[in-house]
Structure 1
Amino acid sequence: MKSLRAVPLLLLVAACSGGGSSSSSGEQAEDPVVVDYPIAFVRRQLNKDDEGALEQDNQYQPQDFFPGAELILKDRATASAAETVITAEIFTGDYDVKDLNTSADGQRLVFAMRAPELENVDDDEQPTWNIWLYDLETKELKRVIQSDLIAEEGQDVAPAFLPDGRIVFSSSRQRRARALLLDDNKPQFSALTDDQDEPAFVLHVMEADGSDIRQISFNQSHDLNPTVLNNGRILFNRWDNAAGVDRLSLYTIKPDGSDLSFHYGYHSQETGTENSLATFSRPREMPDGRLLVNLRSPSGVSYGGDLVAIDGINYSEAYSEAGGEGDLVGQASIAFAEVTTDGTLSPHGTFSTAWPFYDGTSRLLVSWSECRIVEEETELLRPCPETLGEEEEPVLADPLYGLWIYDYVAGTQLPIIVAEEGEMISEGVTLEPRTEPAYIPDPIPGIDVDGDLVQESVGILDIRSVYDFDGEDIAGIETLADPAMTTADERPARFLRIVKAVAIPDDDTLDFDGSAFGRNRSQGMREILGYTPIQPDGSVRVKIPADTPFAISVIDAEGKRVFEQHNNWLQLRPGEVRSCVGCHTSESEVAHGRVDMELESAWSGSPTSAAPFVNTEPALLAEMGETMAQLLARIVGEAGLKGDIHFSDVWTDPAVRVKDTDISLAYADLLTEIPAPLACLDNWGSSCRSVIHYEQHIQPIWELPRQVVDNAGTVISDNTCTACHSPVDAAGATRVPAAQLDLTASASSVNDAWFTSYAELLVDSPILDLVGGILTPRLRQETDNQGNPVFETDEDGNLILDANGNPIPVMIVVTTSSVMAETAVESAFFPIFSTGGAHTGLLNPAELRLIAEWLDIGAQYYNDPFAAPAD
């Protein structure tokens, strides 16, 4: 085991800095390794709560403030080099510093810093994290954004230099997203993450003088720790958390925000010690092209983890086989002794951060802490033992992170700074020159991208075939594309639904009741941007509003989703054309969207040029390799989304067979309130969307009069839903609702903020019996796992007897399963209204379409927080 005990005493003495915060001078002692580059590092106090326990270092909370830090510069990477606290003159009091980064020429240092906390001031009026810049030559330290007003618009962290001198950083300011809220007639605010816990941090780019701030990523949760790869792309941590999937993996993006691509680790989250959950923190490209990450628990008090190198060039996941099976090929620890990441005793200690030297060696500048325990009898600190007895439960001591030169090939580590008890060196960087990454210029409208699309603020999604699953044709695309062999009714995928995430404000902006999310808060709120037909070959090409986090769903002819829900937010920049070959399941470990690892398409498109697809309209002449959607875009023009589900057969050659029947599931056919602006029905544009609320749009369907009357006006039958599905009949007498389903608008006993009908449709409900004129929940005696009846017992386990000396049975309420499942296609509700069902024809197709899409997007009670009641 490597530890402080293995380091020569002379080096330990030479490395001690004494924890001072002022400059030192004098001749530097000769060190065993002379590194003629300046280094910068952060020295900070260990933050503890009122009970003396270490505060958690949570990667999902980048805005956390840990006062008591300072930024120090050494003119050489040696223990004896002079120290200068370069932030000493900026603030008085305890401030915080983090996220150090350097320019490729080694002359500039960029970092995040937050001013001390203000007394007797609310949280929303406290100072924010800002980006600061230090010039090594001029020794000038300045905040990048000079205006106090603009600097305080959001929390800005994790900066990195782009090759053209601009700065990419992660911020809660959400500049473009906030501006778009005005188009929705909402106030500007920074939306919360998918778990509605804190504002989402997303990527922004600005000039080195703080001007021209532009948002380039549009996730609903955090995009963190950007770093620029040698190829010019930005690598970062993306938190995918739609519908509670909870993945913090690596993505890349171009500096203008286009070509967002998954890069590594979406299915490799459990690669920590004993397959524990671990994240790829603080990624950075090494000189050999591998990615250096700190593999650590997402939250905890160890502040560190293992040094891991990722081969992101050849692998997108950790294991050679799906599901975490096979060999660990995508990543490997480069620590030269065992490091644990699950908070247990770690023989080789733990690493907080690591920064590679760019001098052709295998050395790293690391923040490292030895593993130490508190001796039970003496309460003294000592290094962790090599082994533990079965009964031993050691108490881990506080970490003591110092700054070290760590050679992962030679297996040596040399101290630069040894921290004092109660403090740590949390990160360090070298200010040495390195190769400048490639420069990727922003696209020029009218030259690199379609100027009309930029002006319209839309991009294009181009899917080769939704029947292509991981390069496999799952449905016989060639057959589906031939109208002579397949009718439209025989094709499983008919339309693509585009769903937009709804920005959720914090309580200071809007305090609304959490019941507004409905049965499943993790689904958030959703708006439907529109629909587009899927062509016979499964292809889609459609314009989608730019700068909007969206997800896609494949639906059938009735408006029901037929493939699983898409739980990753996509984005398009203005003018961007995003192509993908097909679809995948959530278990798929193919690197979808990553061009260098994309599988060959299962659909080759048109086999020739200047000829139609087989048995299609002769005038529709394809180019070789073109999909049907691409052909239509070329001849007819780029298609836009529509609010209605509409299909018209443009493909079948009338000489082969009769064209397929049109489909029209239109909001205009609703007899209740339409969930979209009336002006959008005839002219569905990029600002149009469907916003469905249960009380406003679904409940009226149950209450809509559906009476059959004769010529004299006498009611022959009443098919109004609530005429049967209510606890009171027409005469006012109490009854059991038909099919044990109450569709009235009374307050639910499950949640009084919901209508009874909502809970009855979506939550398992008690079966009711009419007992003595009163609706009473049906009871039965509880049984154990073996089916034996259960009786009441006292705290000693003895039976409790009634007045007659008999055991008292434990009774439980008998429930009936909810009528509606997670998706429309799985729900027992819809077959009742289909041909041969008990309620055939009682709801029209437009009503069934509205109910289906509402259910598929999450069955929220409200889909606009500003429409929900106040808390």
Structure 2
Amino acid sequence: MKYFWGLPALILLGACSGGGGNGGDGGGEQAEDPVVIDYPVAFVRRSLNFEDDGTLVADDIYDPAAFNPGAELILKDRATPSAPEQVLTGELFDGGYDVKDLNVSPDGQQLLFALRAPEIEGADEDEQPNWNIWLYDRENNSLRRVIESDLIAEAGDDIAPAFLPDGRIVFSSTRQRRSRALLLDDNKPQFSSLTEELRNEAFVLHVMDADGSNIEQISYNQSHDLNPTVLNDGRILFNRWDNMGGVDNLSLYTIEPDGTDLAFHYGYHSQQTGTGGTDAAFSRPRELPDGRLLVTLRAPEGLSYGGDLVAIDSVNYTEAYSLPEGEGELVGQASISVQEVITDGTLSPHGLFAAAWPFYDGTSRLLVAWSECRVLDPETELPQPCTDEWLAIPDILPADPLYGLWIYDYEAGTQLPIVVVEEGEMVSEGVTLEPRTEPTYLPPPVPGVDVDSDLVRDGQAILDIRSVYDFDGEAVVDIAALADPAQTTAAERPARFLRVIKAAGIPDDDVLDFDRSAFGRNRANGMREILGYTPIQPDGSVRVKVPADIPLAFSVVDADGRQLVSRHRSWMQLRAGEVRKCQGCHTPDSEVPHGRPDKAPEPAWSGAPTSGAPFPNTEPALVADMGETMAQVLARIAGEATPERDIAYADLWTDAAVRAKDPATLVAYADLETPQPVSITCLDNWGPTCRSVIHYPSHIQPLWEKVREVTDAAGTVLEDRTCTQCHSNRDANGMPRVPAAQLDLSATPSPTNADWLTSYVELVFDNPTQELVDGALQEVLVQERDDDGNLVFETDADGNLILDANGDPIPVMVVVEIDRLVGNFSSSSRLFVPFATGGAHEGYLDPAELRLIAEWIDIGAQYYNDPFAAPVN
């Protein structure tokens, strides 16, 4: 049975082909628009999928590999209800297959889409078909899989294709071709890394020729890069999932077709722009003819499958609101639906939109998949339209969605039905096969002409930061004074080194079934490796070579290697030969457009004031050009810097005729008497493939157990400063005791989690205070107090006091917790307080040991930082 109800606020044009139902408040007849109907439309019609309990299968943006069989790709040669339908995929398979992600070539002659073949009964999950890219050619009415070879096609899931101006195809894929190859440099097997929350394999952007050859990975993220679309200026716009260390954002980014110039574009701080400030994703982005971006603003997951039609003015804005924290006026985006659409999961009287595609005929018309609002009659359980009467019924339940295909004019307020579906079906998306202006072609850089050929050959790139003291265009210190050795010594400069960090890829269980406790307290921190350090120059500038084609993050640290500000909260990538110039830093909650060059404020540091002269009071030989930073001067004269294993400083800038040079300093792993977190091959020869990989049991626990005896000249032990000498729950005779400072650093399995050492749990979790009672350790309990400070007693369900045998109220007792010592980053961690100057443990640990602890904390306080070093299940 087919249902169709009109929208009173819209003018409904034409009749429903094969429709019927209640007819609605139709607006009468209107002549067909030849501009619209002369172009074919393609759409996906599918069956709704249900769980075993009869509920709809949820739609989850973060699960792009989800397989929902029962779809078919259909072509209508005219955008009218009466035009015949041709099922393009009908002869491909026996059994239920899935189709999605339609896209059209600029000339309107070719249709790209993703298709997954039916499940193979009895086959294991890794033997099931993958998502593949297919192409339909109107001119010869042919259909083909773009990658012809079964072996190559099944090397990953390929979705969301789009045409590039040169005829190639950009798409999102789990094949991670370049990332897999680089794993060999780390002596690891090739695999596709999981997303940072370990939900599934990460989809990232790739390009290939139209015949499926020359596949190249162009984006490098630890979570998904989805829905690429080509803007008129030739850049690729896409959804990037930033899912790093507590961040969980699905924002809009841009990238060039060769993978260079990755940049934030819109919405990083606008994740709650749904109804009532609820979470909402900018789904299926596409550029409108007027330059705005069209998205379906919808909840990231749910049962409604749709949301609102929203236009984003990303030319002028990078966030939704005029003030941070969602305050002020909504300026960056606006709903273009004729009436309000509710996106918080409750009933939306105007209905919902699953997808939208613009017409390119100069009008405000869209081809939309739209479902009206429907509820279930409580008596008959039949769907009914969302009239005021039905909506007034308490706890009225929504009916299943019924998305059809419509032409929706958001300015004229008209809506024309093209395809009406049966109950249990939906149109999930549709496109018009009409010509449009072809985007600008952006040629790839030519090695030796546009980029350094040596960098390309070596797989290297350059990061160039103007000043780490520039926060969103504001200097947080007097940069000129810091840059002048006559005014500031090295010891007085806060930022001393840049730490370069990379993500460790995480394989699925088929590659390595390791215990997930290996991540430690918080999986969101992932696993991290340190590529090395480079000095920050006196003016806060940095210029350093970094490996290309890997996700990178950076930390600004002090002279001891302790992080000064919170970690970089999104992954950066550079392609071979690329020089990425950054203005400076920003705070995590800042909404100043960091990383988007066309919207960034003016830099706070102008660099050298003149050409042909050194910076004031610096070495005369270091002659600067106007506007250069100190790091740029060094790179031009002495060559590009590379990350180093150790934290080493040498004064290259102070003019000895002005004052004595600052003393050199070195905090080296070689000073460790416990195992170093580097491979044997990298101990003496630190190169681009070297990493510091810190494992708590292998590198941190030995610090607590290292013998630290203070002896006199005769060798007599005067004091034993071994950490576990005092920080353990047993004394030298094996008798129970309360550990010093309530901190047990023993290497015994933790009673809380036997997969972790006791010391790890004591450091990174809140722990109960203990006391010795009759020779046994017990937790200290106190009576709980409410928010007003009143003592709390046990009560029954009615709130009445429960009395004991003596008729007295029973107190509610709670454990006295000790806050964990390891904070979010090392400079704020209470763990370092005793070792500071004047602290109770001053001098107990060496600088190299404190550096190692700081590194471990800064990168996330993981238990292991290499899944292949962790215990297997």
For 1:382 and 1:166, locate their aligned partners in 2 and report how far apart those are by CA, in whole Å: 47
1:507 to 503, 506, 509: 509
1:166 to 168, 190, 196: 168
Q: Which runs of 5+ in 2 are unaligned?
A: 22-29
For 2:715 and 2:660, locate their aligned partners in 1 and report how far apart those are by CA, in whole Å: 43
| Cα deviation digits, residues 417-451 of structure 1 (max 9, x gap) | 11111111111111111111011111111111101
1:99 to 90, 98, 101: 101
| Cα deviation digits, residues 95-154 of structure 1 (max 9, x gap) | 010000011111111100000111112222111100001111111111111111111111
Q: CA shift at 1:390, angstroms?
A: 6.6
The yes-or-no answer on 1:829 pairing with 2:831 is: yes
The amino acid across from 1:95 in the alignment is: Y
Residue matched to 1:397 = 399
Secondary structure, in 3 states, of the residue corresponding to 1:243? coil
Q: CA shift at 1:731, angstroms?
A: 3.1
Residue matched to 2:424 = 422
| Cα deviation digits, residues 291-325 of structure 1 (max 9, x gap) | 11111111111111111111111111111222222
The amino acid across from 1:655 in the alignment is: A
Change (3 A) 1:296 1:714: same
1:312-351 equivalences under 5 Å are 312-351=314-353
| Alpha carbons 1:764, 1:818 under 8 Å: kept | yes
Q: CA shift at 1:13, angstroms?
A: 3.8
1:190 to 189, 192, 195: 192
Residue matched to 1:498 = 500
1:437 to 439, 442, 445: 439
1:201 to 203, 218, 235: 203
1:125-524 equivalences under 5 Å are 125-386=127-388, 392-524=394-526
Residue matched to 1:24 = none
For 2:655 and 2:92, locate their aligned partners in 1 and report how far apart those are by CA, in whole Å: 76
| Alpha carbons 2:9, 2:413 under 8 Å: kept | no
The amino acid across from 2:624 in the alignment is: A
Q: CA shift at 1:795, angstroms?
A: 4.9
Residue matched to 1:568 = 570
| Alpha carbons 2:181, 2:190 under 8 Å: kept | yes
For 2:354 and 2:270, locate their aligned partners in 1 and report how far apart those are by CA, in whole Å: 21
| Cα deviation digits, residues 363-420 of structure 1 (max 9, x gap) | 1111111111122234332211247777633221111111111111111111111111
| Cα deviation digits, residues 635-674 of structure 1 (max 9, x gap) | 0000000111111110111111111122211001100100
| Cα deviation digits, residues 458-486 of structure 1 (max 9, x gap) | 11110000011111111111111111111
| Alpha carbons 1:374, 1:381 under 8 Å: kept | yes
Residue matched to 1:87 = 89
For 1:555 and 1:631, locate their aligned partners in 2 and report how far apart those are by CA, in whole Å: 22
For 1:674 and 1:558, locate their aligned partners in 2 and report how far apart those are by CA, in whole Å: 17
Secondary structure, in 3 states, of the residue corresponding to 1:406? strand
1:815 to 790, 814, 817: 817
2:53 to 48, 51, 54: 51
Residue matched to 1:728 = 730
For 1:176 and 1:745, locate their aligned partners in 2 and report how far apart those are by CA, in whole Å: 40
For 1:673 and 1:7, locate their aligned partners in 2 and report how far apart those are by CA, in whole Å: 72
Secondary structure, in 3 states, of the residue corresponding to 1:382? strand
Secondary structure, in 3 states, of the residue corresponding to 2:586? coil
Residue matched to 2:26 = none
For 2:7 and 2:844, locate their aligned partners in 1 and report how far apart those are by CA, in whole Å: 79
Residue matched to 1:22 = none
Secondary structure, in 3 states, of the residue corresponding to 2:635? helix
For 2:383 and 2:125, locate their aligned partners in 1 and report how far apart those are by CA, in whole Å: 38
The amino acid across from 2:747 in the alignment is: A
Secondary structure, in 3 states, of the residue corresponding to 1:593? coil
Residue matched to 1:626 = 628
1:641 to 626, 640, 643: 643
The yes-or-no answer on 1:3 pairing with 2:6 is: yes
Residue matched to 2:844 = 842
Secondary structure, in 3 states, of the residue corresponding to 1:193? coil
Residue matched to 1:66 = 68
The amino acid across from 1:214 in the alignment is: E
| Alpha carbons 1:134, 1:142 under 8 Å: kept | yes
Secondary structure, in 3 states, of the residue corresponding to 1:629? helix
2:15 to 3, 12, 18: 12
Secondary structure, in 3 states, of the residue corresponding to 1:541? strand
Q: CA shift at 1:863, angstroms?
A: 0.5
For 1:10 and 1:198, locate their aligned partners in 2 and report how far apart those are by CA, in whole Å: 44
For 2:672 and 2:140, locate their aligned partners in 1 and report how far apart those are by CA, in whole Å: 70
| Alpha carbons 1:95, 1:113 under 8 Å: kept | yes
Q: CA shift at 1:4, angstroms?
A: 5.1
For 2:496 and 2:10, locate their aligned partners in 1 and report how far apart those are by CA, in whole Å: 68
Query: What is the aligned-residue RMSD (CA, Å)?
Result: 1.9
Identical amino acids, percent of aligned pairs = 67
The farther-off stretch of 387-396 and 518-527 is: 387-396
The amino acid across from 2:83 in the alignment is: A
The farther-off stretch of 227-236 and 121-130 is: 121-130
Query: How many residues are treated as equivalent by the alignment?
Result: 861
Q: CA shift at 1:11, angstroms?
A: 2.8
Residue matched to 2:598 = 596
The yes-or-no answer on 1:121 pairing with 2:118 is: no
Q: CA shift at 1:156, angstroms?
A: 0.6
Secondary structure, in 3 states, of the residue corresponding to 1:829? helix
For 1:266 and 1:6, locate their aligned partners in 2 and report how far apart those are by CA, in whole Å: 34
For 1:789 and 1:30, locate their aligned partners in 2 and report how far apart those are by CA, in whole Å: 78
Residue matched to 1:671 = 673
For 2:141 and 2:8, locate their aligned partners in 1 and report how far apart those are by CA, in whole Å: 39
| Alpha carbons 1:3, 1:348 under 8 Å: kept | no
2:758 to 746, 752, 756: 756
| Cα deviation digits, residues 771-827 of structure 1 (max 9, x gap) | 222222222222333333333445555544444444433322223222332221111
Secondary structure, in 3 states, of the residue corresponding to 2:750? coil
Secondary structure, in 3 states, of the residue corresponding to 2:179? helix
Q: CA shift at 1:9, angstroms?
A: 9.0
For 2:838 and 2:379, locate their aligned partners in 1 and report how far apart those are by CA, in whole Å: 79
| Alpha carbons 1:38, 1:431 under 8 Å: kept | yes
Change (3 A) 1:447 1:226: same
For 1:335 and 1:493, locate their aligned partners in 2 and report how far apart those are by CA, in whole Å: 50
| Alpha carbons 2:11, 2:415 under 8 Å: kept | no
Change (3 A) 1:161 1:31: same
Q: CA shift at 1:8, angstroms?
A: 8.5
Secondary structure, in 3 states, of the residue corresponding to 1:846? helix
The farther-off stretch of 695-704 and 342-351 is: 342-351
Residue matched to 1:25 = none
The amino acid across from 2:742 in the alignment is: Q
For 2:736 and 2:356, locate their aligned partners in 1 and report how far apart those are by CA, in whole Å: 72
| Alpha carbons 1:15, 1:417 under 8 Å: kept | no
For 1:288 and 1:13, locate their aligned partners in 2 and report how far apart those are by CA, in whole Å: 31
Q: Which runs of 5+ in 1 are unaligned?
A: 19-28
Change (3 A) 1:311 1:5: closer
Change (3 A) 1:803 1:404: closer
Change (3 A) 1:335 1:815: closer
| Cα deviation digits, residues 220-270 of structure 1 (max 9, x gap) | 110000000010000000011101211111000000100000011111111
